Structure formats: C-alpha cells, structure tokens
Structure 1
Amino acid sequence: MSKPTRRAYRWPKHLKGQQSLWYGCDYNPDQWPEDVWDEDIRLMTKAGVNVVALAVFSWSRIEPSQGVFDFDWLDRIIDKLGRAGIGVNLASATATPPLWLTQAHPEVLLRDERGDTVWPGARQHWRPTSPVFRSYALKLCRAMAEHYRDNPYLVAWHVGNEYGCHNRFDYSDDAMRAFQRWCRRRYKDIDAVNRAWGTDFWSQRLSDFSQILPPRFIGQGNFQNPGRMLDFERFSSDALKDFYMAERDTLAEITPDIPLTTNFMVSAGGFALDYDDWGDQVDFVANDHYAMPGRDHLEELAYSSSLVDAIARRRPWWLMEQSTSAVNWRPVNPRKEPGQLERDSLAHLALGADAICYFQWRQSRAGAEKFHSAMLPHAGEDTAVFRDVCQLGGDLQGLSQAGLAGTTLAKAPVALVFDYASQWANSHAASPSDRVEHGQEPPVWYRAFLDNAIRPDVLPVRATWEEYPLVVLPALYLIDADLSKRLHKYVHGGGRLIVTWGSGIADEQDRVWTGGYPGPLRDLLGLSVEEFAPMAPGTPGLLDHLDLTDGVTAHDWADVIGHLDKGTKVLASYRADPWTGMDGMPAMTVHDWGHGKAAYLGCRLDAQGLAKVLPALLEAMDVADMRSAQGDPDLLRVERVSQDDRTRFVFLFNRTRHPVQVQVEGRVLVGSLASVDGDGKQASLQVNGALVQRVVGHRH
C-alpha cells in the first residue's frame, strides 16, 4: 500500500486573533437547565477558559427524530460563549447514535466475537463498516456544517470522539465483507494471503477471498491464526479511520477554512489504533490522557506526551481531555494530590501541547460519569479544585504573554522507538511467555533514562529517528526488510543502536525469521540467538530469575545466545546454577559496525536494573557524555525553544517525594509548589512542584 500524504498543518485561530495557549474543557450544557448557563460562563471567564468542546454526545438533542433538527439550544449557548470570548470546538456529534436510529436500524449495532449484539445503553455501539450508519452520520455532519458554516465563534471541528474506545473490533457481516475487501486491496491475490498467514498450518488454506472471516469465536482455549489477527488489528484501525475521514471530508467540503481533528488516546498502555498512521489525517493532533496514579504518574505522563509530540511531528498539539482529580472508571479512583492538577498540565505543555483542556466543565449530577472530576466540582466554586483551575488559567495567560505558544519541544539525545504493529502481534501470538509484550518496554526504558538524568524522545517506528545519536529498540518484535535496511544504514553511518530481547523475531506479517534471532539484525549485532529462556516466578523447579555479572537481576525473559561474531564484546554474562545451562552465557554485548556501534541486551530488566547498567552501556558505545551533560535525576527537565532558537522555556519538575533544590537559569514565569530564594539564584521544588523559566540567548 502506498504511503499516505500527510495533511497540511492547520492550528485553530483565537477569536481575538492573538497567538496564545488554549485553555478549556468539554462542555455539556444540554445536561443542565438554561438558567445555569450564564453562571457557567461567568465562572469560565473567571478561570481564564477561552475554548470549549461542544455537542460531543448531543446527537439525540440535535436530531430528536429522523430528519428533524433542533439547533436553537445550541445556537443560544454558542452565542453566549462567543460573546464572552470563548471559542467553540464543535463536535460532529456522531459519537453515539440516538435510540430512534438503533431502534429503526438494529443492523448498525456491533457484534462481538460470539455474534452477540452490543445493545444501546452506553456509547459507541455502532459498526464503522455499516453503510446504513454512515449514511445517517454523514447527513448529520452535513446538517451541522451547513448550519454553522458562517458562525464566527467556530474555531475547530471535533470529529467523532475517541474512535475505537468501545467499538475497536466488530465481527458482524458488514465487518466481514469490509475485511475481505481490505485483504484484497492489500494482497491482490489469495495466494499472497495464504503465504502471509501461513494457512497451510492446521489446514486453513484459502481458495477465495469470500472465505476470509473476522477472528470470531473458535472455541475456548484454541489459538487464532496470528497473521490473521495482526491484519484484523490493522483493518480495524483502518475501518475506523475511513469512517473518520468520511466525516472529516463532509465537514471540510462545506467549511473548508475550519481546522479538523479528533481526539486520540495515546498513553503508555493505549494501543487501540495506529495513532501514528492516523496522525497523517488530522489538521492538528489532539490527545486524551488520563494519568496513571501512583509512583509512575509523572513519568508515564511525560512518556505519553513525548509520543504524542512525535506523532504530531513536533508541531504544537492539543490536550483535549484529562482530569482535574479522580476519574470514575478504575476499581479505585484516587484523587489527585496537591499540586498535581497544575503540575500535570505544565508537563503536557512542556512536551509540546499548546492547548490544555479537561473533561469536563461542570461535574455531572447523573449518568455513568457523575463521579468523574471536573473543572467545577459538585461542591462548587469555593473548592481547592476550582481555585487550582483558576490558578492554572492565570499561569497559562502569563505563559502566552511570555511567548510560549508556537514554540516547539527541544530534541532529546535519545530516541526510544515504539511500534503499534509489534504490540498487536505480541498481544495475540502464542509466545514463549505471555508475561511480556513490546508495549511494556519503552516506558521502562524511559524511566531508566530519566533516572540517569537523560530525557529521551519517544518516536513511532516510521518517524525520522535517524537524526538521533542514540536509538533504542525495546522488544521491537516485528522488523521487516525495509526497517532492517534503515537500521544498518544508521549504524554504518556512525549511529549508536541498542536492541533488546524480543526484537526482530518476525517480519511485518508475523512470519518468523529463520537462521537465528534477531533475524535480519544478526550481522549488525554480531550474534545469534538460538532459543529463549522464559522465566516462571512462583513455579518450583523452574528458572525464576537470572543474576548478571554486573550486579543486576533479569526476570521474565532471557535469550540463549549461541554464537558471537569475532569482535563482539561481552559487557555482562549470567551467573547461574549449572543445571540452567545459562551460567557464563552472554547477556549484554556491543559490536562495531561500519562507523557506529550496536549493543544487544538479551534479557528483561526492570527500570532500576536498566538504570544501573546504562552508564556502562553508554560508555561502551562512546556516548557517555550525554549522561554527564544532562543534570539531576531528581528532576524532569524539558525545554521548548523558539523558531530562531534564541528563546528557551525551561520546565523543571520534581520527580521525588522530597523537596529538591534547583538552579534558576532565567526569569521565573510559573512556580507551582516552588519558592525562589531571596537572591533569585536558587529555588526549592516541593513534592509535585514545577518551575517554568524563560531564558533568552543561544544555548551553549
């Protein structure tokens, strides 16, 4: 398939014409009587809100019966907002169909893998491949666009909502026919499908495209064909993308000057769709992120935002949703700690966001999300949450005045590579261990680098990572011939590459590379892996860990390295009982290739173990200087830079549970849980504290 052309970048324009940061929320006025609306706008103005997303789940109010539209209530609230200087990010309102539609056309409803209907009662219960549903949805899009085409307060289109959050997979006959068409476009002839999926195994050979089925229920305990599963993941992402594009194009035809986007769900555990592929199809990237409470709260947030920034190709992006405090959908929903509301938003901002928004404005009284926090809580205006919301609004205005909007994230010295397809393949394959998947590993490496005072960038595999001095492939399961060529060229030209266990096992169709792992990278790494030694903690008599000669311990996975090329240097080996067959076997190596070096880590380490081995590994690869140049591991340090590289905005975040002293480098713009010494040269960051400074002049 040909590579799509990326849409031109277009950022929403402020009502007042100035370049400044956006600040706002989802707003659901249809949940409240109109006598509340003026009070909402008063409080929004007090908080500094300048944009709201409207009508995300309002189809049943906008079109209460087929072909009958009621825009009056929406017109009134848009007019009130606009006259108050608050722009409208207007949804296409297609996220969930009204009951009159599903009652008349139950054939638009999802089917699960057993063929059971997913009935109305929640949201997103529609089939992306249903021609009937598409017809109704596009009629609504046309009606919305025609009605609001000249509205001066419309700043952007919010197309759909969190595609695939609840309708990622559909197993209906509509999906079956669409999957067959998708396979025909991808493979052209049925023999190519047979080769890709290895259908001679278990007598699954296909003679016609009509025999292709979605991976429906095949009996408890059976294993699906992994090639078909991987392609169904790809197809499902594409099917939802095609639906989004149909909505987008309908809106764009009528309102060509209004930027369009939809909200992704990028996080350390968010793998529903290929968001890097989707990034080609939006005018600007937007993301919903709900922080993971606990020890890794800040690190996971930073990791996720770094990936969003890369998907946006270093253009400013929009944080569409986050929470002011607790969410409602975890088994236990902790409130945010003091300082985290502002700290989290500043961290997203540091990593490239130019819009900071929340779900939602006013906390709901009824419905499934009534215990989800909001900018205005149940307890009202006189609350810590609302005071923090107002403080953040003021700080964002100050940062806008200082020129932050439009600056970009400064490039890090390290690229961590992530791949949606590798994660999908890992999660479905009957593999040596179901305790490990590709998607788990980049966040572990991210934290380990931060513990060495190095902030990495997280990049999708198809992004341009060749410009980085050091690239890390953490458990990148799928490596095809083209990626192998890129990696060889990168290292030969002087690049430094770290590859880990679980990488290069299979090609793009999940067909295993023969001749030893990691497949096409064996010569580059100067070694060959014969088999795997997965570990089983808690099972007596089986290997449950492996100690390394450098003082760390491996868990879950180790490689049996059966061959080393001449010149491959062993940095660490295993110390183990003789019965394991692992004693003295290489665990970490480095190999010269052309003008560069390629290292291999053949076992799984936790973040603490990785942090401990990184200094020696970086030294062996002749990039130890990047560690000493970065700073304090107690801090997350991020910079945004102006286009002329003369102005830097330096963000500092306390990563610890104790106060941290920091050096003041420039003019302090924001200090959240931070105090600057009398001489202005040092500051103290409390737990969850953050400091933002403006530094003028080229960096040395």
Structure 2
Amino acid sequence: MSTRRTYRWPQPLDGQRQRLWYGGDYNPDQWPEEIWDDDIRLMRKAKVNLVSLGIFSWAKIETSDGVFDFDWLDRIVGKLGKAGIAVDMASATASPPMWLTQKHPEVLWRDERGDICWPGARQHWRPTSPVFREYALRLCRQMAEHFKDNPYVVSWHVSNEYGCHNRFDYSDDAMCAFQKWCKARYGTIEAVNDAWGTSFWAQRMNDFSEIIPPRFIGEGNFMNPGKLLDFKRFSSDALKDFYKAERDTLAQITPDKPLTTNFMVSTGGTPLDYDDWGDEVDFVSNDHYFVPGEQHLDELAWSASLVDGIARKKPWFLMENSTGAVNWRPVNYRKEPGQTVRDALAHVAMGADAVCYFQWRQSRAGAEKFHSAMVPHAGENSQIFRDVCELGDDLRKLSEAGLEGTELKKSSVAIVFDYQSEWATEHSANPTQKVRHFTEPLDWFRAFADLGITADMVPMRSDWDTYEVAVLPCVYLLSEVDSNRIRRYVSNGGKLFVTYYTGISDEHDHVWLGGYPGSIRDVVGVRSEEFTPMGDDFPGALDHLNLSNGAVAHDLADWITSTSPDATVLAAYQAEERTGMNDVPAIVVNPFGTGKCVYVGCKLGRDGLRLSLPQALDEMGVGYPREADAGHVLRVERKSEDGRRTFLFYFNRGDDDVKVEFEGEIVVSSLVQSETRNTASISPNGVLIVKGQ
C-alpha cells in the first residue's frame, strides 16, 4: 500500500485570515480585457476569494513550439491578487494545442478499433506517449519557473479531470506500457496466465510481448474478464503516473505550493480508482454535478460523503459544481429555487472547505456556452448571480463562526464503496446486466437516511472496520486478505450487512468455489447455489419476488439452499412453486464470534431496504431514531478536533415544510422560518446551519 502524501491546504494571501475558499474556473482568455475589471468588481461583490486559471489555456500560453506568452496571464493574476483574490493555477496541460497534434499526431489516443481520436474537443492525448509527456512536462517547468515567486498563486491545479475522455487508449504506446505494467505486477507470464485464466479459449501466452490491450474482437463476443479488469487497473495507473510526473515537476520547482487534481466522484463516476489516487494529492478535490429529480440531494450527499472518505475526513475542495443547468445531458434541467445555495452548503456539510463552480462567466461561444455559470448570460441582474452573492455571504458567516478546519463527524454506520468491484460488475458476461456495484451503496445510503441515520461512505481500503455497523453492498471482489478482515471484524463484535453479489470472486475475478458468497460463507451463515436473475424480456418471465416482510425484490436474488444452524431467517420469498423460490430465505441474520451479520440475498432498492432495516437493526441491537418523521431531514454534524466547535446542518429532504428542534445559534438559514428560539420550519430546498452551544 502506498504512503499517503502529507495533507497541505492552500493558505490565504498575505494579510488575509483563513476562510472558506469560494470562486470558480475563470477563463479571461475567452473575453476582451475590458471585461476583466468588471469581472473583478463582481467577484468582490460576491465575496469570491479564489479562482482557477489556465485550465484549457495551453494554446494561449505556448503559442507555438517553444514560444511562451505569459504577459496576459501576468496581467490578470496581478489584477486578481491586488483585489484580494487568490489563484489556483492550472498546469494548463489538459488539452494540447493544434500545433502540437499536427506536428505529433502520435500523441493522440486510439479507440478499441484502432481509430484515432482527432483534435476538436479536449483531452485527446494518450498518457503513455513519451512525446506528449516531453511537451507537457516542458510546459509544467515553464509554468512553475514563471510563477514560483508569485505571492498570489496559492496552489497548483494539475491538468483537469484525468480520464474524463481519455480513460482508455489502445495504441501501441499503451500496449507496450500494459506489458510493462503486467510484468511489474505479476513477475512472470505464467502468473499472468493464471490470473487471467488463459487456459480457457486457448488464450495462453508464452511471453509478455504477446499481451495486447483488449482491442475490438467482434460484435457479440466476450473479452477475457481478467484481462479487462487488469486493463482498467492499468488505465487508472497510467493516468496516475502521468499526473505524478506533472505533480513532481511542479513540486520540484515550487515545493511550497500544495498540489491537487480534480476527481469526478459521483454515483456513475468510476473511471479511475479515486481512493488510490487520494494518496497522491496534497488535498482532495472533486467535481460534482447534480442529478435532477427526487434523488438530487441524497445523491449529492452520498457523493460528497464518499469524497470525505477518500480524503480520510480531512477538509476537501469542491473544485466544480454548477449554479444551474449543465450542457451535456439529453435534457438539461435548471435548478429549482434554493438549490444553488442548498447544494453548495450540502457539500460544505460533508467536509468541503471550498466551493467553486464551472465557471465564473458563462461562455458566449463553444461547446459549453449553455452550461450555467456564476455570471450567466443574463448578467448581474439575474437570480443566479443573486444566489451566488447570497452563498458568498453564507460562506463568510460560516468562516467567521469558525467552521473552517472542522471535520465531518464520524457516523455509526459505514457503507463501503469499491471501485474495482464496480469495474468487475461492468463486464458483459455476468449473470445480469441489471446489477452493478455502484447502484447498491446509494440505495443503502438513502434507506438509512430514511431512518434518520446519515451514514458515512467509505472506500474499501479505509477504516470501515472501526465503525459500529458496516455495509458491504455488492462488493463483488473479495481477496483472501479482505475476507479475513471481514471475519475479524464480525468475530470481534462488529455488526455487518452483506448483500447479494458480494464475495463472488477474488481479486483476479476467479470465482470462489463451494457456493456463494464463497470466501465468507461462515460469516454470513448462508450458502447459495445459483443466481436468480429477474427481467421482463419474455412473456411469463420472473420479474420480481415478494418477501414475507412486504418488501419486493427485483433484478437479482440468490437461491439460498442452506443456512447455518444458528442463523435466523428474517424474511423469505413468497412465490409460485414452479419458480423454486417459495420459502427460500431472503434475509438472514447469523451470529459469528461476538458479532452478527445480516445477509440480504436480493436487490430490494431503497424502499425495500427502508422497510427491512428496522427489524434487522433490532436483531443486531443497533439503535436508530424511532420518530416517524426522522427521515424528513438530513442531519449532518461537523466538529473541531478538540470538540469545542460543532456545527449542525439540517436539510429538508422532501417536498413539504419540515419542523426541526435545535440548540445553539443560527449561523445560516435559507428558506427557513423561525417559529420559536429553538424550533424552525425548513421549506423544500431549504437548509439551516446552527453552531452548537
């Protein structure tokens, strides 16, 4: 396991006190210079104190091969700094300029069919190209040398959203790098053959030179799943190695400036192993864009909690979010009134000490011209800009009250997220394409929230085994090491939830034999012989299963054929005899050592989990709020290390006003009506923040 870099946070400009950072991506090179002074006036009005510069400015900085122009960048950095606005300076390497790709088309990545990704968008480079690395690191050196003594640059923003468009490259450069990666990981080609199970379909290899990326093999065919899994690992590592090369080049010249790069953590954001990457940044940063609809707040809180887990509860940086609509969905919904402020404060509740947007001023031209911004097309006289100013004032109040540096309080419940299990469940030759790892943790997070418990989202490598309750939701891959860790946790008194599709295979995607879940059957107390997929793709197909507790299962269930002698069945299926599922156990509690494990053998979704959790928690001896309306409010607490400063955040999760009781001083309220000194009514999309007494 790699060593995590020492945590370092961007420090305020000379003469300023530390407060929550606030701002966004700023692209002054898109605008004539007469706009710049007005931008700074509006930034001051909104209480912006930081902007990210130069993210996609390579062509403006290095105008031709080896010819650099920093004059325009110096002018805007100077204007910002004199106005008290710090700069998070990008390495500017995210997208190469046209002169570079025309001179060196070999830096462009290729898809699985061998077709070139031509310039015209962004991130059209391959991380394994030695030519591209040479040019990118030259730019990093130039940037670092130029700004090393600039007092207004407080941090480095290395590249941008690695893997957003160039996650996979199938070029010959990638092939050579993949061969070296496999040799470093396995040592011998025999070990690769064993890991990939190449005796199947005559895929055995005699030498590392026979390893090729998982290129196109024909429609409807199935790629070796072990190779696919390792290629995803390699692709994450290849991009990480490129990031580290940029980071180290910048750090060598400017050792006093902390460095980060923006992750993309969300329910579907799994291109890279962000927990692994979390070891390599000085502070964790994330880009998050809201999911419209009824899960909007919950998905945001889920994602932000996972970022907090990746950051190991150190304050983290929300590098991008949106004031309103994005531009890249089929339908780009606007935010409802109150959601711009509420969303930002929800990230803050979950541990963010910085709130930034893409972008400061909405573009007039280009692919993202309809992506919302802090200053919209409508200008200063707009609701969005008024919301931006309101948020700036809220963040000022929280800073003055002492929020910065506090951390998200540890929950009693940890829900585990595993990037590599997600990658393995994406493969096409699995029991069903309707089940993936990433959907299950969100269902559990929402179900616990419905009971009034705000769980922590934690990566598999983290300290999930120090929580009172842990959940392993569809953690498809379990190594022997992790299986033994689970065994110790429960044996020593831990209370564990395990779901279907957990512990199916080891780290090489080799199935654990003897029945599912192979490596931890003794812990869960069940043995399943087959999967029961459900669907509606032919008449009479089994499309759901009713449980005896009133819940309904969809998509996948385990055919549990035996349970341990000490196990208790909490719910069974009620189905027609022909299905073979009638009276089959669905939810089972099993004592193991001094702890207990509840096994949920089917996909219940949020509603089914909410209905089933109370009995399961009672069986485990775990307390939870008993009030009928406990789940109407998302309650989050941040506190200082010494416990002297506590901040309570209350968010309305529903469509009706909710009443909360609190103790302490109101610091921020949005869409809130105070009723008495210690009670308040929070409207939909509202938030109340109280400093504890």
Q: Distance in 2 between matches of 1:74 and 1:647?
A: 40
Q: Map 1:194-273; keep pairs closer than 5 Å.
A: 194-273=193-272
Q: CA 1:14 to 1:523, structure 2 compared with 1: closer, same or farther past 3 Å?
A: same
* C-alpha deviation, 1:171, in angstroms: 0.2
The equivalent residue for 1:370 is 369
Superposed CA deviations along residues 613-663 of structure 1, whole A, max 9, x for unmatched, are 00001011111x134499721000000001111221000000010111111
Q: Distance in 1 between matches of 2:383 and 2:267?
A: 29
The equivalent residue for 1:49 is 48
Identity, % of aligned pairs?
62
Q: CA 1:639 to 1:668, structure 2 compared with 1: closer, same or farther past 3 Å?
A: same
Q: Distance in 1 between matches of 2:577 and 2:599?
A: 24
Residues 1:683 and 2:688 are matched in the alignment: no
The equivalent residue for 2:439 is 440
* C-alpha deviation, 1:429, in angstroms: 4.5
Q: Distance in 1 between matches of 2:628 and 2:237?
A: 40
Whether the aligned pair in 2 keeps the contact of 1:493 and 1:595 (CA below 8 Å) is yes
Q: Distance in 1 between matches of 2:193 and 2:299?
A: 40
SS in 2 for 1:459: strand
Superposed CA deviations along residues 202-252 of structure 1, whole A, max 9, x for unmatched, are 000010000001000000000000000000000000000000000000000
Residues 1:13 and 2:11 are matched in the alignment: yes
The equivalent residue for 2:321 is 322
Q: CA 1:629 to 1:491, structure 2 compared with 1: closer, same or farther past 3 Å?
A: farther
Q: Distance in 2 between matches of 1:267 and 1:626?
A: 27
Whether the aligned pair in 1 keeps the contact of 2:290 and 2:300 (CA below 8 Å) is yes
Q: Map 1:291-310; keep pairs closer than 5 Å.
A: 291-310=290-309
The equivalent residue for 2:409 is 410
Q: Distance in 2 between matches of 1:347 and 1:51?
A: 20
The equivalent residue for 2:91 is 92
* C-alpha deviation, 1:410, in angstroms: 0.5
The equivalent residue for 1:493 is 492
The equivalent residue for 1:145 is 144
Whether the aligned pair in 1 keeps the contact of 2:536 and 2:543 (CA below 8 Å) is yes
Q: Distance in 2 between matches of 1:284 and 1:38?
A: 31
Residues 1:616 and 2:606 are matched in the alignment: no
Whether the aligned pair in 1 keeps the contact of 2:452 and 2:624 (CA below 8 Å) is no
SS in 1 for 2:573: strand
Q: Map 1:518-537; keep pairs closer than 5 Å.
A: 518-537=517-536
Whether the aligned pair in 1 keeps the contact of 2:155 and 2:258 (CA below 8 Å) is yes
The equivalent residue for 2:691 is 694
Q: CA 1:390 to 1:456, structure 2 compared with 1: closer, same or farther past 3 Å?
A: same
**Structure 1 alignment gaps of length 5 or more:** none
Q: Distance in 2 between matches of 1:686 and 1:608?
A: 24
Q: Map 1:559-574; keep pairs closer than 5 Å.
A: 559-574=558-573
SS in 2 for 1:424: helix
Residues 1:162 and 2:149 are matched in the alignment: no
Q: Distance in 2 between matches of 1:634 and 1:552?
A: 21
User: Which one-letter code corresponds to 2:107 in the other structure?
Assistant: V
Superposed CA deviations along residues 486-537 of structure 1, whole A, max 9, x for unmatched, are 1010001100001000000000000000111101110111121101111112
Residues 1:185 and 2:184 are matched in the alignment: yes
Superposed CA deviations along residues 68-118 of structure 1, whole A, max 9, x for unmatched, are 000000000000000000000000000000000000000000100000000
Whether the aligned pair in 2 keeps the contact of 1:453 and 1:630 (CA below 8 Å) is no
Q: Distance in 1 between matches of 2:412 and 2:614?
A: 15
**Structure 2 alignment gaps of length 5 or more:** none
Q: Distance in 1 between matches of 2:241 and 2:3?
A: 15
The equivalent residue for 2:276 is 277
* C-alpha deviation, 1:263, in angstroms: 0.2
Whether the aligned pair in 2 keeps the contact of 1:413 and 1:626 (CA below 8 Å) is no
The equivalent residue for 1:652 is 650
Moved more, 215-224 or 524-533: 524-533
The equivalent residue for 1:102 is 101
The equivalent residue for 1:635 is 633
* C-alpha RMSD over aligned residues: 0.9
Normalising by structure 1, we get a TM-score of 0.98
The equivalent residue for 2:660 is 662
* C-alpha deviation, 1:364, in angstroms: 0.1
Q: Distance in 2 between matches of 1:335 and 1:210?
A: 52
Whether the aligned pair in 2 keeps the contact of 1:537 and 1:545 (CA below 8 Å) is no
Alignment size in residue pairs: 692
Whether the aligned pair in 2 keeps the contact of 1:26 and 1:53 (CA below 8 Å) is yes
Q: Distance in 1 between matches of 2:255 and 2:406?
A: 26
User: Which one-letter code corresponds to 1:691 in the other structure?
Assistant: L
The equivalent residue for 2:338 is 339
* C-alpha deviation, 1:336, in angstroms: 0.4
Q: Distance in 2 between matches of 1:174 and 1:119?
A: 17
Q: Distance in 2 between matches of 1:523 and 1:406?
A: 43
Superposed CA deviations along residues 139-162 of structure 1, whole A, max 9, x for unmatched, are 000000001110010100000000
User: Which one-letter code corresponds to 2:678 in the other structure?
Assistant: K
Q: Distance in 2 between matches of 1:214 and 1:411?
A: 42
Whether the aligned pair in 1 keeps the contact of 2:24 and 2:50 (CA below 8 Å) is yes
Whether the aligned pair in 1 keeps the contact of 2:20 and 2:354 (CA below 8 Å) is yes
The equivalent residue for 1:125 is 124
The equivalent residue for 2:2 is 4
Normalising by structure 2, we get a TM-score of 0.99
Superposed CA deviations along residues 137-196 of structure 1, whole A, max 9, x for unmatched, are 000000000011100101000000000000000000000000000000000000000000
* C-alpha deviation, 1:282, in angstroms: 0.2
Q: Distance in 2 between matches of 1:680 and 1:565?
A: 54
* C-alpha deviation, 1:17, in angstroms: 4.2
Whether the aligned pair in 1 keeps the contact of 2:440 and 2:605 (CA below 8 Å) is no
* C-alpha deviation, 1:682, in angstroms: 1.2
Moved more, 648-657 or 536-545: 536-545
SS in 2 for 1:556: strand
Q: Distance in 2 between matches of 1:586 and 1:391?
A: 53
Q: CA 1:629 to 1:414, structure 2 compared with 1: closer, same or farther past 3 Å?
A: farther
* C-alpha deviation, 1:538, in angstroms: 4.7
SS in 2 for 1:466: helix
Q: Distance in 2 between matches of 1:485 and 1:578?
A: 38
SS in 1 for 2:354: strand
Whether the aligned pair in 2 keeps the contact of 1:267 and 1:289 (CA below 8 Å) is yes
Whether the aligned pair in 2 keeps the contact of 1:546 and 1:575 (CA below 8 Å) is yes
* C-alpha deviation, 1:540, in angstroms: 1.3
User: Which one-letter code corresponds to 1:73 in the other structure?
Assistant: W
User: Which one-letter code corresponds to 2:680 in the other structure?
Assistant: A
Q: Distance in 2 between matches of 1:423 and 1:538?
A: 25
Q: Distance in 2 between matches of 1:636 and 1:410?
A: 14
Q: Distance in 2 between matches of 1:182 and 1:20?
A: 43
* C-alpha deviation, 1:539, in angstroms: 2.3
* C-alpha deviation, 1:332, in angstroms: 0.3
SS in 1 for 2:68: coil
Superposed CA deviations along residues 324-376 of structure 1, whole A, max 9, x for unmatched, are 00000000001100000000000000000000000000000000000000000
Superposed CA deviations along residues 41-78 of structure 1, whole A, max 9, x for unmatched, are 00000000000000000000000000000000000000
SS in 2 for 1:533: strand
SS in 1 for 2:660: strand
The equivalent residue for 1:595 is 594
The equivalent residue for 1:380 is 379
